[in-house]
């Protein structure tokens, strides 16, 4: 039996409204991010974020480190403790270059300071380049870091001394990178044990195809290990940092370090805590 025309018209309006609601619902619940295997670009409502090994392209990053050092000297000389505070500001200028500014304070018998600026250069584009990658960049593509600065004591501010750094980092697999570097001093001090050094970065889990650089320190929830060692004409050192990305924006780190100076005799046991914050990720 055919219904009255007024009922048919009403049913059509109800059907049209229902279809509209379904379309709106699908639009609201449509995924808001996407990423392919060759480009670390995430898309959000109203903007895009170009994820990078140092953070989001065009954005600032913040890093901090506190270290407590227990220093053992020759018999009869009191054991002393030292505190180090390290702050760093980074700016991912573009896909290939990151700029950095560092400030270091050492609280011992007096306050010592170091101011340093530098840049990190990627030889292949880590954002859009194709191929395998880890938290340091594209596998097989070297990353060069250059730095220079000054250091001085609070009682001799005018007696500044220059320092310079160069390092080469090479991702060799999705879970391993190799590091080598050199630090030069205008005037080396007896506590300086870092001249030539090398290291490895080990990531327990590589990025999946759709998660590259969601946190620049590695996949969220998985520990990474950074091991560095080396020495100078004064002595040797070894350094281990364990880092844990806890979400896209924040990584907590634990640092353990040892130093040995031959003359005058000096042994240093160091423990520290650090963080990296990526506000635009």
Per-residue DSSP letter, 39: B
Question: Cα–Cα distance between 245 and 195 in angstroms, integer?
Answer: 30
DSSP SS3 for 7: helix
pLDDT in tens, 260-269: 998 888 899 9
Token digits of residue 273: 């805590």
The CA angle 205-209-214, to the nearest 5 degrees, is 70
Question: Cα–Cα distance between 33 and 210 in angstroms, integer?
Answer: 10
pLDDT in tens, 111-162: 899 999 999 999 999 999 989 999 999 999 999 999 999 998 876 667 899 9
pLDDT at 62: 98
25 has pLDDT over 80? no
pLDDT in tens, 26-69: 333 333 333 344 445 554 444 567 899 999 999 999 999 999 99
Compute the mean pLDDT over every residue in the chain, rounded to the nearest whole number: 85
Place of tokens 């490895």: 200
pLDDT at 40: 58
Question: Cα–Cα distance between 18 and 167 in angstroms, integer?
Answer: 62
Which residue, 37, 40, 53, 38, is CA-closest to 171?
Answer: 53
CATH classification of 41-277, choosing from 2.60.40.10, 2.40.10.120, 1.25.40.10, 2.40.160.40? 2.40.160.40
Domain ranges of the chain: 41-277
pLDDT at 42: 53
Rounded average pLDDT over 228-232: 97
pLDDT at 47: 52
pLDDT at 207: 93
Task: For residue 106, list its beta bridge partners.
Answer: 84, 112
What pTM was computed for the model?
0.81
Question: Cα–Cα distance between 199 and 184 in angstroms, integer?
Answer: 18
Which residue, 206, 215, 204, 171, is CA-closest to 42?
Answer: 215
Which residue, 243, 249, 256, 253, is CA-closest to 274?
Answer: 253
pLDDT at 260: 94
User: Other C-beta atoms within 10 Å of 249: how many?
Assistant: 17
């Amino acid at each position: 039996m055919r219904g009255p025309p007024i009922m048919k018209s009403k049913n059509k309006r109800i059907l049209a409204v229902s279809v509209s609601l379904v379309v709106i619902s699908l639009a609201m619940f449509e995924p808001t991010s996407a990423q392919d295997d060759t480009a670390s670009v995430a898309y959000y409502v109203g903007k895009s974020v170009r994820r990078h090994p140092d953070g989001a392209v065009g954005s600032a990053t913040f890093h901090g480190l506190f270290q407590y050092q227990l220093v053992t000297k020759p018999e009869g000389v009191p054991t002393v403790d030292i505190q180090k505070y390290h702050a760093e500001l980074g700016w991912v200028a573009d896909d290939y270059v990151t700029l950095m500014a560092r400030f270091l304070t050492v609280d011992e018998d007096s306050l010592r300071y170091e101011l340093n600026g530098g840049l990190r250069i990627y030889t292949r584009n880590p954002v859009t380049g194709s191929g395998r990658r880890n938290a340091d960049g594209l596998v097989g593509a070297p990353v060069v870091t250059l730095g220079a600065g000054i250091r001085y004591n609070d009682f001799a501010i005018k007696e500044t001394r220059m320092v310079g750094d160069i390092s080469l980092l090479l991702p060799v697999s999705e879970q391993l990178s190799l590091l080598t570097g050199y630090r030069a001093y205008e005037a080396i001090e007896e506590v300086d044990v870092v001249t030539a050094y090398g290291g490895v970065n080990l990531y327990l889990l590589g990025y999946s195809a759709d998660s590259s650089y969601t946190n620049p320190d590695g996949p969220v929830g998985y520990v990474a290990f950074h091991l560095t060692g080396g020495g100078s004409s004064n002595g040797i050192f070894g350094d281990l940092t364990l880092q844990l990305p806890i979400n896209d924006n924040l990584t907590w780190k634990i640092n353990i370090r040892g130093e040995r100076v031959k003359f005058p005799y000096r042994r240093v046991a160091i423990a520290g805590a650090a963080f990296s914050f990526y506000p635009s990720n």
